[in-house]
């Protein structure tokens, strides 16, 4: 962890504390706590400028998943630093602006700043990460925080729609990009961008080169709102204006441009790269500027303007990639001017568009509307806002002396230069670029003027406004004024940027053009003489003014062109159909019938087990080594099978339950024969308690009706059942016909006494070797018993009867499960004590002889059940006045504490110890911590059994 | 013995599965009970039957039967007791409140 990592993580860390700060400060706006973070980062990053300018690269790495080549590596070069400064610089102004834009009392600003900081950190992560997988992670966080910010006013339908749309489109692109990164890894064997650039020449001939490029470009185009993926950006304008200024104009939408610039050293020189980026960029430029003309909402106008300007920068990056063809010659520099213009315009756009968004926010804030048909004449009441708007709009229109003029001139230079390119069919197509660029510039000029004059000049029509407009507060004016001033400063002194930022960024995009240690020398001058570019600008202004005059009369400019078909309708229809078909498909198999779901599961079981056994050769039957069958066993097996087969044919509930019970007792007998005394004891008691339980529930269940079902229903059930039975027989036969590998049981037999001091291996496995399993098992049992208790006690009908008296009391007193049998009562008195004593014996001897916590607990519970049956609930409560749910809890806690006890001795959870002691009366005995654990099990089992039985017994 | 046991396990599974596919709640619960028995016997049969003394080291025998399936089964018996009880209560509570124990009529519909 170095300072470089802190730069990225600082916003995230602050985001954690924002909710606390928000609650804690009642009066101070939360934004004031957030403001220092981007400001400090900006100042800190500025300090790196001289180093980076000298060609120094800073890097720091933190291992994350080294086995997969994924490390959190921060890498700072000219390009990354440029973006980081943009993110923190604009971020500072946006936070300041938002403090006045969002009211502390009315808006959920606690959330707002968490999202905004998330975004800021993620965006820094995108631009400063060297590892593409880390970059991807941050990339998706920017999509998610953008989603949250667009939906900030989530009670509005349109906000939610816009948020979802932006998320779906950008995340789709993000996934494609991840696929591209994976392909890149397949080709180059690295996730590091630096190493990738180093091996760029080796992978250019690879089959996956073009697919990887297409996937990465899909990510870039969706994020940077390139046609036809731009449709999310206008809908994203539902976000609060500071968000629009920050995410959807200055930073996040430029992530796609960053990606293209970052991967330029890898892909540049490839004709597809040039064509896709240059053509989609120039098309987006034209389309966006044309659509911006027709908007009446100021923010929508700015949204389409942003789309178009992003297209402009994208096309410049594409044109610049032509330089890679001429690496090493002077022509290379000739084409690299496009990249230079792109970087310069990227900054200029952030400056003037940021200012314009903030101005529009002020207008909206002060007048209550953004509709240019209702606005007008604001110049006189909002002079400062107007000044900022004037500078921003003129800069966007490309007029001197503002920064937008310079970058637009350079754009014209680049499109004129590209005509000279004589590869990739450019001899024919090259002429189209200047023409389209010129037309789009006319449109840009036109909508800039519309934006400016429709809002601030013209007739005052304040009566149409919701409130009387006046100048905004100082804090809100400051950020746009700062940005507008920068538009002037960068316009007059462009070389402020060219030395400090543009040269290092160029070095990152065109590394191959530089000899080791060399630097680019960029100098942007204001006046080149009477060149083609300047005539083009004069033409733009002339045509723009003409069209501005004609604008109201030209429906081509102010009406929608196509109404029948639109990309938005295609998107909506696509989403709708996707939803519909997903529902249709789901409805086909999610029928709501448990039987159907069971059939899917069982069918899958049959097929997968049968196929695995057939495929792996696991199916084998070797009868030779099987044990012979004795007469007893034959009788038991016959009784078992007969009673099981009879269950489906039983006509009454009682019969079915007794038959099932019989099967249980037969299984118990098998446990006896096959040398499993612990199991036999457990099964016997459980079977007894279960039958009691069944009989208690029996009252509540309806009579067993004959299954009135069609033959097809029964037959399909029977076939599935037969399949499962056959598969299980095969599994049993194969498993007992020999082992594929050595069993681990030998270890337990060998070490049970040596390591755990117990002779009953089964018990030792439960409480010692596999103690953690048992621990969780008693927790599960506790949950099951509470579930039963809740079902009975806390159901809606258990709250009270209609007349308000508690129903449970009535039921408990009204009918008790007490027996009237005198013989039972008399015998029980004696037998209960015998059972209880025996249960204690089973519990204590469990470590060496059959028994233990489970068996002892069940036996004790059986004694209590007998007590309840014979003498009734009330007697039970009087004799054993404890809450059995608390017994369960005590048991689990005892087991847990025993397990944690081993921490004091520096041992892992549930390490047991044992020793031999001479005690009075008892003599030489062994004491083991496993006994304490087993006590927990014992208490839990008693607790849950009694909770279940008593809860059911008490139910009305 | 393993052969007959395997066949018996097959029968138990067949009947158990047939029961849980039926419409009546009571039959379904009894089906799960039978399936539990089937699983227990399967685990026991897997480790071979009657190959030694019970796994109590106090017996000082030459060979003991495999203790591992026994530990697994012991856990399973107690768990299945808890689960079966839960099923039972769930079933009769559902019957009390909804007036039917027919799975086809208890079928979930959209957004209920």
> What is the token pair recorded at A22?
């928000």
The answer to whether the beta carbons of residues A88 and A123 sit under 8 Å apart is: no
* pLDDT mean over B7-14: 94
- Nearest chain A CA: its distance from B33 CA (Å): 8
Q: Which residues of B touch A761 (CB under 8 A)?
A: 55-57, 64, 67
- Fold of domain B2-50+65-98: Helix Hairpins (1.10.287)
A765: closest chain B residue by CA: B71
Q: Does residue A753 belong to any structural domain of this protein?
A: no
Q: Are residues A725 and A774 in the same domain?
A: no
pLDDT of residue B108: 64
SS (H, E, C) A38-105: HHHHHHHHHCCHHHHHCCCCEEEEEEEEHHHCEEEEEEECHHHHHHHHHHHHHHHHHHHHHHHHCCCC
> What is the token pair recorded at A939?
């208490």
Q: Does residue A533 belong to any structural domain of this protein?
A: no
Phi, psi of A815 (to 5 degrees): -135, 120
Asked whether the beta carbons of residue B21 and residue A795 sit closer than 8 angstroms, the reply is no
Q: Does residue A216 belong to any structural domain of this protein?
A: yes
**A378 shares contact with chain B (CB less than 8 Å):** no
Q: Does residue A537 belong to any structural domain of this protein?
A: no
Asked whether the beta carbons of residue A729 and residue B93 sit closer than 8 angstroms, the reply is no
**A797 shares contact with chain B (CB less than 8 Å):** yes
The answer to whether the beta carbons of residues A78 and A52 sit under 8 Å apart is: yes
* pLDDT mean over A927-954: 87
pLDDT tens profile A574-593: 889 999 999 999 888 888 88
Using CB atoms, pick whichever of B58, B82, B90 lies closest to residue A849: B58
Q: Does residue A194 belong to any structural domain of this protein?
A: yes
Q: Which one is predicted more confidently, A618 or A646? A: A646
Q: What DSSP element (H or E) covers A916?
A: strand A914-919
Q: Are residues A605 and A629 in the same domain?
A: no
* pLDDT mean over A247-275: 90
Asked whether the beta carbons of residue B2 and residue A736 sit closer than 8 angstroms, the reply is yes
Using CB atoms, pick whichever of A628, A689, A721 lies closest to residue B18: A721
Q: Could you give the 3-state DSSP secondary structure of residue A546? A: helix
- A351-355, A549-553, A594-598, A674-678: range with lowest mean pLDDT: A549-553
A649, A702, A779, A936: best mutation site toward chain B, by most B Cβ within 10 Å?
A702
B43: closest chain A residue by CA: A732
Using CB atoms, pick whichever of A664, A707, A784 lies closest to residue B83: A784
Query: For residue A109, what pLDDT band results from cuts at 50, 70 and 90?
Result: confident
pLDDT of residue A802: 42
A358 burial via Cβ count (<10 Å: 0-12, 13-18, 19+): buried
Please determine, for residue A343, whether its predicted confidence score (pLDDT) is greater than 70.
yes
Q: Are residues A110 and A241 in the same domain?
A: yes
Where do we find the tokens 């158990």? B16
* pLDDT mean over B70-96: 88
Using CB atoms, pick whichever of A679, A724, A743 lies closest to residue B13: A724
Q: Which residues of A touch B104 (CB under 8 A)?
A: 593, 595
The answer to whether the beta carbons of residues A100 and A91 sit under 8 Å apart is: no
Using CB atoms, pick whichever of A637, A749, A941 lies closest to residue B64: A749
Please determine, for residue A649, whether its predicted confidence score (pLDDT) is greater than 50.
yes
Q: Does residue A491 belong to any structural domain of this protein?
A: yes
Q: Tell me which residue of A284, A287, A266 sits closest to A276, measured CA to CA.
A: A284
Rounded CA-CA distance A370/A295 in Å is 11
Can you state the percent helix, strand and coil of chain A, rounding each to 5? 75, 5, 20
Q: Which residues of A touch B22 (CB under 8 A)?
A: 648, 707, 709, 717
The answer to whether the beta carbons of residues A174 and A136 sit under 8 Å apart is: yes
Using CB atoms, pick whichever of A591, A732, A761 lies closest to residue B6: A732
Q: Are residues A615 and A652 in the same domain?
A: no
Q: Are residues A242 and A274 in the same domain?
A: no
Q: Which one is predicted more confidently, A502 or A605? A: A605
Asked whether the beta carbons of residue A701 and residue B91 sit closer than 8 angstroms, the reply is yes
The answer to whether the beta carbons of residues A401 and A491 sit under 8 Å apart is: yes
**B63 shares contact with chain A (CB less than 8 Å):** no
The answer to whether the beta carbons of residues A637 and B3 sit under 8 Å apart is: no
Please determine, for residue A799, whether its predicted confidence score (pLDDT) is greater than 60.
no
pLDDT of residue A887: 92
Q: Are residues A187 and A294 in the same domain?
A: no
Pairing outcome for strands A70-76 and A58-65:
antiparallel
Q: Are residues A907 and A817 in the same domain?
A: yes
* pLDDT mean over A932-944: 92
**Maximum C-alpha span of chain B:** 63
Asked whether the beta carbons of residue A671 and residue B44 sit closer than 8 angstroms, the reply is yes
B64: closest chain A residue by CA: A749
B42: closest chain A residue by CA: A732
Residues 6+ apart with CB under 8 A from A530: none
Q: Does residue A711 belong to any structural domain of this protein?
A: no
**B27 shares contact with chain A (CB less than 8 Å):** yes
- ipTM, two decimals, is 0.94
pLDDT of residue A393: 92
CA angle B5, B8, B11 (to 5 degrees): 155
Q: Domain range for residue A722?
A: 593-620+716-738
How far the first Cα of chain A sits from its last, in Å, is 65
- A132-146, A192-206, A417-431: range with lowest mean pLDDT: A417-431
- A562-566, A596-600, A669-673: range with lowest mean pLDDT: A562-566
Rounded CA-CA distance B2/A634 in Å is 12
The answer to whether the beta carbons of residues A76 and A52 sit under 8 Å apart is: yes
Using CB atoms, pick whichever of B13, B37, B50 lies closest to residue A674: B50
**A740 shares contact with chain B (CB less than 8 Å):** no
Query: For residue A805, what pLDDT band results from cuts at 50, 70 and 90?
Result: very low
Distance of CA A707 to the CA centre of its chain: 48
Query: For residue A602, what pLDDT band results from cuts at 50, 70 and 90?
Result: very high
- A140-149, A515-524, A568-577, B96-105: range with lowest mean pLDDT: A515-524
pLDDT of residue A796: 57
Residues 6+ apart with CB under 8 A from A802: none
pLDDT of residue A173: 94
- A275-279, A318-322, A778-782, B101-105: range with lowest mean pLDDT: B101-105
Q: Does residue A408 belong to any structural domain of this protein?
A: yes
Q: Which of residues 858-887 of A touch B (CB under 8 A)?
A: 858
pLDDT tens profile A485-526: 999 998 888 888 887 888 888 888 888 777 666 667 777 777
* pLDDT mean over B51-66: 81
Please determine, for residue A91, whether its predicted confidence score (pLDDT) is greater than 90.
yes
pLDDT of residue A807: 41
Q: Give me the residues paired with residue A74 across strands.
A: A60, A129
> What is the token pair recorded at A158?
């349109």
**B43 shares contact with chain A (CB less than 8 Å):** no
Q: What DSSP element (H or E) covers A924?
A: strand A923-928
Asked whether the beta carbons of residue B48 and residue A749 sit closer than 8 angstroms, the reply is no
**B40 shares contact with chain A (CB less than 8 Å):** yes
pLDDT of residue A14: 92
Using CB atoms, pick whichever of A664, A693, A773 lies closest to residue B75: A773
Please determine, for residue A123, whether its predicted confidence score (pLDDT) is greater than 80.
yes
The structure's pTM equals 0.72
Fill in the DSSP letter of residue A816.
-
Q: Which one is predicted more confidently, A861 or A822? A: A861
Percent of chain B with pLDDT over 70: 94
Number of domains in chain A: 6
Percent of chain A with pLDDT over 90: 36
Q: Are residues A577 and A664 in the same domain?
A: no
pLDDT of residue A808: 43
Q: Are residues A304 and A195 in the same domain?
A: no
B21: closest chain A residue by CA: A595
Please determine, for residue A279, whether its predicted confidence score (pLDDT) is greater than 50.
yes
Phi, psi of A65 (to 5 degrees): -125, 75
Asked whether the beta carbons of residue A626 and residue B1 sit closer than 8 angstroms, the reply is yes
In whole numbers, what is the pLDDT of chain A averaged over residues?
86
Q: Are residues A364 and A441 in the same domain?
A: yes
Q: Tell me which residue of A16, A13, A74 sits closest to A45, measured CA to CA.
A: A74
pLDDT of residue A798: 46
Query: For residue A813, what pLDDT band results from cuts at 50, 70 and 90?
Result: very low
The domain boundary, picked from A246, A267, A288, lies at A267
Q: Are residues A641 and A734 in the same domain?
A: no
Q: Are residues A482 and A601 in the same domain?
A: no
- Nearest chain A CA: its distance from B57 CA (Å): 5
Q: Tell me which residue of A892, A895, A859, A863 sits closest to A879, measured CA to CA.
A: A863
């Amino acid at each position: 962890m170095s300072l470089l990592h802190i730069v990225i993580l600082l916003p995230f860390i602050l985001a954690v504390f924002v909710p606390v700060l928000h609650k804690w400060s009642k009066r101070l706006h939360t934004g004031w706590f957030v403001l220092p973070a981007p400001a400090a980062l900006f100042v800190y990053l500025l300090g790196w400028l001289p180093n980076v300018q000298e060609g120094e690269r800073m890097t720091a790495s933190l291992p994350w998943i080294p086995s997969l080549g994924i490390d959190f590596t921060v890498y700072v070069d000219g390009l990354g630093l440029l973006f980081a400064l943009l993110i923190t610089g604009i971020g500072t102004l946006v936070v300041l602006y938002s403090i006045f834009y969002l009211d502390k009392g009315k808006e959920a600003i606690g959330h707002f700043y968490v999202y905004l900081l998330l975004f800021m950190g993620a965006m820094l992560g995108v631009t400063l990460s060297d590892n593409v997988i880390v970059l991807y992670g941050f990339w998706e966080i920017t999509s998610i925080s953008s989603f949250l910010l667009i939906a900030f006013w989530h009670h509005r339908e349109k906000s939610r729609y816009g948020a979802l749309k932006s998320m779906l489109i950008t995340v789709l692109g993000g996934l494609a990009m991840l696929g591209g990164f994976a392909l890149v890894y397949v080709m180059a064997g690295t996730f590091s961008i630096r190493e990738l650039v180093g091996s760029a020449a080796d992978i250019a001939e690879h089959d996956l080169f073009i697919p990887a490029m297409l996937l990465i470009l899909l990510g870039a185009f969706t994020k940077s709102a390139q046609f036809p993926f731009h449709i999310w950006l206008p809908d994203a304008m539902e976000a609060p204006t500071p968000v629009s200024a920050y995410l959807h104009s200055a930073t996040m939408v430029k992530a796609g441009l960053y990606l293209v610039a970052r991967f330029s050293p890898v892909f540049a020189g490839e004709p597809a790269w040039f064509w896709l980026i240059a053509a989609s960029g120039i098309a987006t430029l034209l389309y966006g500027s044309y659509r911006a003309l027709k908007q009446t909402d100021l923010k929508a106008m700015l949204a389409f303007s942003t789309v178009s300007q992003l297209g402009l920068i994208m096309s410049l990056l594409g044109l610049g990639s032509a330089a890679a063809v001429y690496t090493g010659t002077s022509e290379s520099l000739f084409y690299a001017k496009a990249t230079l213009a792109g970087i310069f315009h990227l900054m200029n756009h952030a400056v003037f568009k940021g200012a314009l968004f903030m101005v529009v926010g002020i207008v909206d804030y002060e007048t209550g509307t953004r509709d240019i048909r209702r606005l007008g004449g604001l110049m006189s009441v909002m002079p400062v806002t107007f000044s900022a708007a004037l500078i921003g709009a003129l800069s966007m229109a490309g007029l001197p002396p503002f920064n937008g003029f310079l970058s637009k001139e350079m754009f014209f230079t680049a499109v004129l230069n590209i005509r000279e390119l004589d590869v990739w069919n450019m001899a024919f197509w090259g002429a189209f670029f200047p023409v389209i660029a010129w037309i789009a510039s006319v449109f840009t000029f036109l909508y800039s003027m519309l934006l400016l004059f429709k809002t601030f000049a013209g007739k005052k029509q304040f009566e149409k406004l919701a409130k009387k407009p006046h100048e905004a507060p100082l804090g809100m004016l400051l950020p746009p004024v700062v940005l507008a001033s920068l538009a002037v400063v960068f316009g007059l002194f462009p070389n402020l940027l060219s030395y400090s930022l543009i040269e290092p960024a160029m070095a990152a995009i065109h590394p191959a053009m530089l000899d080791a240690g060399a630097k680019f020398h960029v100098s942007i001058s204001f006046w080149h003489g009477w060149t083609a570019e300047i005539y083009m600008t004069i033409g733009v202004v002339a045509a723009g003014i003409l069209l501005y005059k004609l604008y109201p009369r030209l429906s081509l400019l102010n009406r929608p062109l196509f109404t029948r078909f639109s990309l938005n309708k295609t998107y909506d229809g696509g989403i709708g159909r996707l939803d519909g078909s997903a529902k249709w498909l789901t409805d086909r198999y999610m029928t709501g019938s448990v039987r159907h779901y069971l059939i899917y599961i069982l069918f899958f079981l049959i097929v997968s087990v049968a196929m695995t056994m057939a495929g792996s050769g696991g199916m084998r039957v070797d009868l030779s080594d099987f044990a012979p069958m004795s007469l007893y066993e034959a009788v038991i097996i016959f009784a078992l099978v007969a009673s099981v087969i009879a269950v489906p044919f039983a006509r009454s509930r009682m019969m079915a339950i007794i038959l099932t019970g019989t099967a249980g007792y037969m299984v118990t007998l098998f446990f006896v024969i096959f040398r499993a005394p612990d199991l036999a004891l457990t099964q016997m008691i459980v079977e007894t308690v279960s039958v009691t339980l069944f009989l208690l529930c029996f009252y509540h269940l309806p009579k067993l009706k004959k299954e009135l079902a069609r033959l097809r229903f029964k037959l399909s059930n029977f076939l599935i059942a037969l399949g499962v039975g056959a598969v299980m027989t095969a599994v049993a036969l194969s498993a007992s016909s020999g082992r594929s590998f050595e069993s681990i049981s030998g270890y337990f037999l060998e070490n049970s006494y040596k390591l755990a001091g117990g002779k009953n291996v089964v018990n030792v496995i439960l409480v010692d070797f596999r103690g953690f399993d048992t621990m969780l098992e008693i927790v599960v049992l506790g949950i099951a018993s509470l579930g039963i208790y809740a079902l009975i006690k806390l159901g809606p009908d258990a709250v009270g009867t209609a007349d308000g008296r508690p129903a449970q009391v009535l039921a408990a007193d009204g009918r008790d499960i007490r027996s009237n049998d005198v013989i039972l009562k008399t015998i029980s008195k004696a037998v209960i004590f015998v059972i209880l004593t025996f249960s204690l014996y089973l519990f204590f001897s469990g470590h060496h002889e059959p028994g233990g916590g489970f068996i002892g607990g069940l036996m004790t519970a059986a004694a209590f059940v007998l007590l309840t049956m014979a003498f009734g609930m009330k007697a039970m409560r009087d004799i054993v006045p404890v809450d059995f749910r608390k017994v369960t809890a005590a048991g689990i806690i005892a087991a847990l504490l025993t397990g944690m006890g081993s921490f004091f001795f520096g041992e892992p959870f549930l390490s047991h110890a044992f020793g031999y002691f001479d005690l009075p009366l008892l003599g030489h005995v062994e004491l083991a911590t496993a006994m304490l654990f087993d006590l927990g099990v014992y208490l839990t089992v008693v607790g849950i059994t009694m909770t279940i039985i008593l809860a059911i017994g008490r139910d009305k | 013995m393993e052969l007959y046991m395997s066949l018996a396990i097959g029968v138990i599974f067949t009947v158990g599965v047939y029961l849980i596919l039926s419409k009546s709640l009571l039959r379904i619960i009894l089906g799960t009970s039978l399936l539990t028995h089937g699983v227990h016997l399967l685990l026991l049969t897997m480790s071979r039957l009657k190959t030694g003394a019970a796994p109590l080291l106090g017996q000082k025998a030459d060979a003991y039967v495999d203790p591992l399936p026994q530990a697994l089964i012991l856990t399973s018996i107690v768990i299945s007791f808890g689960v079966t009880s839960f099923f039972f209560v769930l079933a009769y509570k559902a019957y009390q409140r909804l007036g039917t124990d027919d799975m086809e009529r208890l079928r979930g519909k959209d957004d209920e």
